[in-house]
Amino acid sequence: MPKDTGIGASMKRREDVRFLTGRGVYTDDLALHGQTYAVFVRSTVAHGRIKSIDTSKAAAMPGVLAVFTGEDFKDVGGNPAGWLINSRDGTPMREPKRPVLAHGKVRHVGDAYAAVVAETYAQAKDAAEQLAADSVIEELPAIIDMKAAVADPSNRVHDEIPDNLCFDWGWIEDNRAAVDAAMKAAPHVVTLELVNNRLVPNAMEPRASIGEYNPGTGDYKLTTTSQNPHLTRLLVAAFVLGIPENKLTVVAPDVGGGFGSKIYHYGEEALVLAAAKKLARPVRWTAERSESFLTDAHGRDHVTKIELGCTKDGQILAIRTETLANVGAYLSNFSTATPTFLHGTLMAGPYKVPHVYVNVKTVFTNTAPVDAYRGAGRPEATFSLERVIDKMCRELNLDPFEVRRKNLLTPDQFPYTTPVGLVYDTGNYHATLDKAMQIADVAGFEKRAAESKKRGKLRGMGLSTWIEACGIAPSHLVGVLGSRVGLYDAATVRVNATGNISVMTGAHSHGQGHETVFAQIVAEKLGIPESSVEIVHGDTSKIPFGMGSYGSRSLAVCGTAMAKAVDKIIAKGKKIAAHMLEASEGDITFENGKFQVAGTDKAKTFGEIAFSAYVPHNYPLETLEPGLEETAFYDPANFTYPAGAYICEVEVDPDTGKVDVVAFHCADDFGNVMNPMVVEGQVHGGVGQGIGQALCEFTAYDENGQLLTGSYMDYPMPRAEDVPFYNVDYSCQTPCTHNPLGVKGCGEAGAIGSPPAVVNAVIDALHRGGHTHVTHIDMPVSPSRVWSAING
């Protein structure tokens, strides 16, 4: 019988009541007395020198309250990169200042170089148009193609960075010679050059920010679309504007999706705060969809050459990659970690590979900044690896399932230290592979393929066995790897006098369902109904601290902090119960919401204990404090390592090149599952985005740096008709060994594991149709690309 309450129950999401009835409250929904409107003036050229900006006409226009340019912010701090990466030669990465508003030069289309604040949105818009007309920007040659950017030292995105290189990273550099030797000695070497396509995050809610300032107290407030309000507070207060953190509250109310793009601090947040102070009035800004396309941090954008050395029977001996990773015009907060420590460290996959070396050159271009996007580095690693293994199978005429089986780590090999710096704690990769093959009915494939053929379609099957490192992250480890912050998390559990509970968590829910799932965990641990537990998040004035939600960390890290705070509540409850029941603390047990003297029927309910904590009429105050509230900080000992096997079946229409994903099967190991329905939803969403990347989405800049796919007229988002009914299994569970809930994280899995399964399936279909000359098609595997590959 499945549970209908507590841990493991598929409880419906309580947040959906407000979301589905239009009662969510998003930043743009807030109306503030005296509010004003900011509109940004954005570069229409990809690369240009700002010669002059005449603000006089715009400033004199009706309703205009203030005009800002880069000059106003030249003396405040820049928006920093969160990770310091060293090049192979030991030199630190080049780190140009990222100003609030562009100063001196504009570096991508959409780069904001001025802003207008006015009484109404229309007035601000009119004045911004005037300001654009009164700005003289000398257009410079745009640097768009990464190879050209590195090859031509004369043309520079940042004048002080001669070859447009941020860093040239080797992982692990000391192993390079050994990997080269292993590759040279390998009986067979497979080489694949591929592109991991640049994606626009396309959260349903565009970015929005409201700045407030109270001259009577000196307090600032920023309401903003953030996945991690505390990090935003740190960055905008300490690094950029120099506001003491205790004078700034950052609130992220309901947020309509982020996928990574709302982790980062953006200049618009600093502008609305600075403007609010100047005007002593609230200043608001909401991105238009065009601004989202131009300025939200994009994802992926790698050009990679991967080589795989193996035996003739498919034993992998060595892997070597060379990647150019685009960071765009400026370093976004996680941009240097994404192509390195979230990518290179995963290049061994779930396999026993003795030799792995990863080289990543990170390149500045005149394009929007690129940063972590659902999966962040791990999809890039997985795609390279799973595609090259598929290519190996074709070159050597080997069965892809058998090749995976031969190379996958076995359960007796854990904990396993990879050659790229991680220690996998636990897993059973053969179990998920077997499960996937079972639910996908691999044995029945030929029959299905024959049926497709009757309808003129080519059917193919693709496999991907993936692993990720998430639960980001152990501070001690990321500190060694260059992180400038710790990545622990915190929670406060406040038991109110009448026994209901407020949990203040550092995780931020922007679609994930924390308000439901976290409540399930607390309720189960305390033996009380879920309805007694409220999850509070997204407000720095309420929650103790938090590093936010990304990297599939919310449950593994923030959830663990919460569970530890609950344990402290239980411990305190035992003390109170011992006092009330006149027993020794060591004799008190806690089960099903009851504190009991072991071996007796003397007991107090959780509610009685809570009430007593706040009505301490007879407390021994020297030894027992009133109140029942606990905070825990939790820093994980290791990453968590979810893994799984994905099998995709496609039908290709050879006449038009159109690919239909007709079946998609997932066998995932997420460790213990708290709410199966929510987990399934996360996998559905992740696979949907992965299919989107594989079949539809791409971001095209022309040679002048104009974004050609700057609207939904040209940026193809996946739609319901592009995805099948998913078949999701999470029954293979090897609980994480180092967090008390035994959980691993499921938010990014689908987006990590699915793209290579789709592309492998398409290549399989084409080979089965006789088009054996097609060895690779870059994503998106769109109809025109497939048709061109067939007919090329």
Name the site residues for another protein (rule: CB under 8 A): 125, 129, 290, 655-658, 696, 698, 700, 708-709, 712-717, 782-784, 787-788, 791
Cβ count within 10 A of residue 234: 19
**If you write DSSP's letter for every residue of 19-81 in order, what string do you get?**
HHTT---BGGG---TT-EEEEEEE-SSSSEEEEEE--HHHHTSTTEEEEEEGGGGTTS-----
Name the residue nearer to another protein (CB basis): 258 or 710: 710
Least distance in angstroms from the C-beta of 655 to another protein? 5
Cβ count within 10 A of residue 609: 26
Name the residue nearer to another protein (CB basis): 156 or 298: 298
Name the residue nearer to another protein (CB basis): 408 or 777: 777
| 700/697 Cα distance (integer angstroms) | 10
Name the residue nearer to another protein (CB basis): 242 or 456: 456
| 218/645 Cα distance (integer angstroms) | 54
Least distance in angstroms from the C-beta of 282 to another protein? 24
Tell me the two tokens of residue 4. 């209908």
Name the residue nearer to another protein (CB basis): 291 or 371: 291
- CA angle at 653 for the pair 652 and 655, rounded to the nearest 5°: 140
Tell me the two tokens of residue 562. 């919460």
Least distance in angstroms from the C-beta of 717 to another protein? 7
C-alpha to C-alpha distances, 357 to 216, 248, 363, 477, nearest whole angstrom: 58, 44, 20, 20
Cβ count within 10 A of residue 258: 28
Name the residue nearer to another protein (CB basis): 556 or 707: 707
| 760/388 Cα distance (integer angstroms) | 10
- For the beta sheet containing 135-139, the strands, ordered from the edge strand earlier in sequence to the opposite edge, are 105-106, 48-53, 135-139
Exposed/middle/buried for residue 789 (C-beta within 10 Å: 0-12, 13-18, 19+): buried
Q: Is 302 helix (H, G, I), strand (E, B) or coil?
A: strand
Least distance in angstroms from the C-beta of 445 to another protein? 27
Rounded to an integer, what is the distance from CA 613 to the centroid of its chain?
41
Q: Is 404 helix (H, G, I), strand (E, B) or coil?
A: helix
Least distance in angstroms from the C-beta of 715 to another protein? 6
Name the residue nearer to another protein (CB basis): 169 or 701: 701
Peptide bond into 172 cis (omega under 30): yes
Tell me the two tokens of residue 761. 């399936």
Least distance in angstroms from the C-beta of 190 to another protein? 30
| 128/757 Cα distance (integer angstroms) | 47
Least distance in angstroms from the C-beta of 125 to another protein? 8
Name the residue nearer to another protein (CB basis): 290 or 672: 290
Least distance in angstroms from the C-beta of 699 to another protein? 10
Least distance in angstroms from the C-beta of 770 to another protein? 18
Name the residue nearer to another protein (CB basis): 20 or 717: 717
Residue with tokens 């600093």: 270
| 346/340 Cα distance (integer angstroms) | 10
| 283/272 Cα distance (integer angstroms) | 5
* Whole-number CA gyration radius for the chain: 27
Least distance in angstroms from the C-beta of 714 to another protein? 5
**Which of these, 683, 604, 735, lies nearest to 375 by C-alpha position?**
683
Least distance in angstroms from the C-beta of 567 to another protein? 51
Name the residue nearer to another protein (CB basis): 39 or 487: 39
Name the residue nearer to another protein (CB basis): 40 or 550: 40
Least distance in angstroms from the C-beta of 695 to another protein? 8
Least distance in angstroms from the C-beta of 53 to another protein? 20
Q: Which residues contact 71 (CB under 8 A, 6 or more apart)?
A: 103
Tell me the two tokens of residue 568. 């402290």
Name the residue nearer to another protein (CB basis): 486 or 783: 783
| 788/792 Cα distance (integer angstroms) | 5
Q: What is the 3-state secondary structure (H, E, C) of 557-612?
A: HHHHHHHHHHHHHHHHHHHHHHHHCCCCHHHEEEECCEEEECCCCCEEEHHHHHHH
What CA dihedral angle connects 222, 224, 228 and 230, to 10 degrees? 0
Name the residue nearer to another protein (CB basis): 56 or 656: 656
Name the residue nearer to another protein (CB basis): 187 or 792: 792
Least distance in angstroms from the C-beta of 9 to another protein? 36
